[in-house]
Structure 1
Amino acid sequence: MSFDPASYSPTHFLWDFADGVATITLNRPERKNPLTFESYDELRKTFWSLDETYAVKAVVLTGAGGNFCSGGDVHEIIGPLTKMDSNGLLEFTRMTGDLVRAMRACPQPIVAAVEGVCAGAGAILAMASDLRIAAPTAKTAFLFTRVGLSGADMGACAILPRIIGHGRAAELLFTGRNMTADEGFAWGFWNRLSDSVLADAQALASDLAAGPNVAHAVTKKQLDAEWHVPVEKALQMEAEAQALCMETKDFHRAYEAFAAKQKPVFQGD
């Protein structure tokens, strides 16, 4: 189900939309922006809805007050979880996994802009984004073992090793220790470090929004899909996907612009 991004007004986070870029801001700065049952659910529904919200070309995900997200709220999530039966617990873990699934399924590139604390489910939100920009002081921790849980949470055991390698992911998921910004950059978790995180993330998102949006959506889809198949199958998948991109008007616009020695103006069709 699509929605009007210009008038969208979520309850549990801030939403801003301009020039094709939607900015989602987790907004509980007094608690370092923890998630609640309600914010998990609203974020999940929002990202699912982006699949048909064509006016949104790229998304920036950030947090208010100098921190990204401290994970699940200790009092509003962790406490209640200790009192749930097995069915309730499984319903919750499936919902949190659905948020990652929705982020990976939406066609828009997601740029995480991370400052300060990025922990637990907050680290997962950064991980599930397509591109990640961090402040040099950002501290990231997949701290599930510190509360007696496994590192196998919200796809971490599948996605994190793909980004930083098995050994590094195993260390972070077993120990729950902080990954410094310099480590994260050296390991490929952060695409770049910046002293102007949000501005740089929005500039990057704006560049993506001005690009060939159908082609970006195909790139995002194939980046995920091709992890699961042999190279021979991936080559066939890419041949079919690229042939479809060659039928877009943006592809023809690009050729005409280059032939005229002009910069192409993409329109997402």
Structure 2
Amino acid sequence: MNDSTEARLDPALAAGNRKALAGYRASHFLWQVQEGVATVTLNRPERKNPLTFDSYAELRDLFGQLRHATDVHAVVVVGAGDNFCSGGDVHEIIGPLVRLQAPELLMFTRMTGDLVKAMRACPQPVVAAVDGVCAGAGAIVAMASDLRLGTARSKTAFLFNRVGLAGCDMGACAMLPRIIGQGRASELLFTGRSMTGEEGERWGFFNKLCLPEHLLEQAQALARELVQGPTFANGITKTMLHQEWAMTIEQAIEAEAQAQALCMLTQDFRRAYEAFVAKRKPVFEGN
């Protein structure tokens, strides 16, 4: 949102709905914002970056706050070192879970699902930069992202079956078939085997494969490219991509008509037209 828009916005409304997150101080992972791109780095490389109760909750809350962020327009999620994320920490999550009763177990599974909901609900495109091990909840975080870059050595495994659990975890049975197809998703969820980087690219899970040493650089470059676009309209695109899963074609066409009419009211739409007339590239401002 630019200065002129802020000037027209009631301060009380802005206080409750606009928030700068560049200065956010993360406790359980690394957080950095540059040029409108936030980078979340899962930072336990000695354990292949597993998640804990604390990191799950903080990620859930942070992605929830992104709905109100004024200075973040795209997000990159990456793992420190040579791996993305090995899933839930065996000692800090799996061990305690076997001692819990149903109400507490449901509290946990709802918390993990709420992370996926928050990733899908935030308007910013999320780019996962996946190298090495990407397993369990790590595979879910990659799946819940909007775009995924991998490497030839990526090993993505929805391994819930291998620990005695169903593959229906954190939305996997709903989302994974839509990304790679029902048969391929069924294979991964029933067997828990690893999907190679080459398979992931061929099946459409990865948008492309990168050399490991260039993975983060290319993910951030892609995110910066998205930031240069009409970010308000991009947020609408993300919303509609998600919401239209549960619509008929007729409902989707009507919803898109309303969404597109809203985007036609933006200054970015006018900027694009004026730039076309002047034979120059438009400079979008997200309003």
TM surpasses 0.5 = yes
1:190-209 paired onto structure 2 within 5 Å: 190-195=206-211, 196-209=214-227
Provide the C-alpha distance between the structure 1 equivalents of 2:130 and 2:21, rounded to a whole number of angstroms: 23
Q: In the alignment, does 2:13 pair up with 1:13? A: no
Structure 1, residues 220-267: CA drift from partner, whole Å, max 9, x if none?
000011111111111100000000000000000010011100000000
- Equivalent residue number for residue 259 of structure 2: 241
For residues 164 and 4 of structure 1, what CA distance do their matches in structure 2 show? 36
Residue 55 of structure 1 is matched in structure 2 by: 71
Pair 1:164 & 2:164 matched: no
Partner Cα separation in structure 1 for residue 20 and residue 272 of structure 2: 29
- AA in 2 matched with 1:185: E
1:268 is matched with which residue?
286
What SS class does the counterpart of residue 174 from structure 2 fall into?
Answer: helix
Question: What CA distance in whole angstroms lies between the structure 2 residues aligned with 1:3 and 1:53?
Answer: 5
Instruction: Name the structure 2 match of 1:187.
Output: 203
Work out the CA distance in 1 between the residues paired with 2:40 and 2:267. 30
Residues in 2 aligned to 1:221 and 1:39: alpha-carbon distance in whole angstroms? 25
CA contact (8 A) 2:19 2:70 kept: no
1:149 equivalent in alignment to 2:168:
no
| Corresponding residue to 2:236 among 218, 224, 233 | 218
How far did residue 6 of structure 1 move? 2.3
1:206 match: secondary structure: helix
Q: Distance in 2 between matches of 1:161 and 1:199?
A: 29
Amino acid at match of 1:197: L
Q: Give RMSD over aligned pairs.
A: 0.8
How far 1:5 moved relative to its partner? 2.2
Normalising to structure 1: TM-score of the pair?
Answer: 0.99
Supply the distance in 2 between the matched residues of 1:201 and 1:171 (Cα, whole angstroms). Answer: 28
Percent identity (aligned): 65
Correspondence 1:253 to 2:238: no
Contact 2:22 2:72 in 1 (8 A): no
- Structure 2 unaligned residues grouped into runs of 5+: 1-15
The structural deviation recorded for 1:29 is: 0.3
In the TM superposition, structure 1's runs of 4+ consecutive aligned residues that sit over 4 Å from their partners are: none
Structure 1 residues 41-91: Cα deviation after superposition (integer angstroms, max 9, x where no partner): 000000000000121000000000111000000000000000001000000
- Cα distance between partner residues in 2 of 1:44 and 1:209: 22
1:115 match: secondary structure? coil
1:105 equivalent to 2:133? Answer: no
Question: What's the offset of the Cα at 1:25?
Answer: 0.3
Please say if 1:30 is aligned against 2:52.
Answer: no
So what's the TM-score if we normalise by structure 2? 0.93
Question: 2: distance between equivalents of 1:187 and 1:138?
Answer: 14
1:136 deviates by 1.0
Please give the alpha-carbon distance, in whole angstroms, between the structure 2 residues aligned to 1:10 and 1:3: 16
Distance (whole Å) between structure 2 residues aligned to residue 183 and residue 190 of structure 1: 9
Q: Does 1:42 align with 2:58?
A: yes
SS of the residue corresponding to residue 148 of structure 2 reads strand
* Residue 139 of structure 1: aligned partner: 155
User: How many angstroms apart in 2 are the aligned matches of 1:6 and 1:51?
Assistant: 14
- Count of paired positions: 269
Once residues 176 and 128 of structure 2 are traced to their aligned partners in structure 1, the CA distance between those partners, rounded to angstroms, is 15
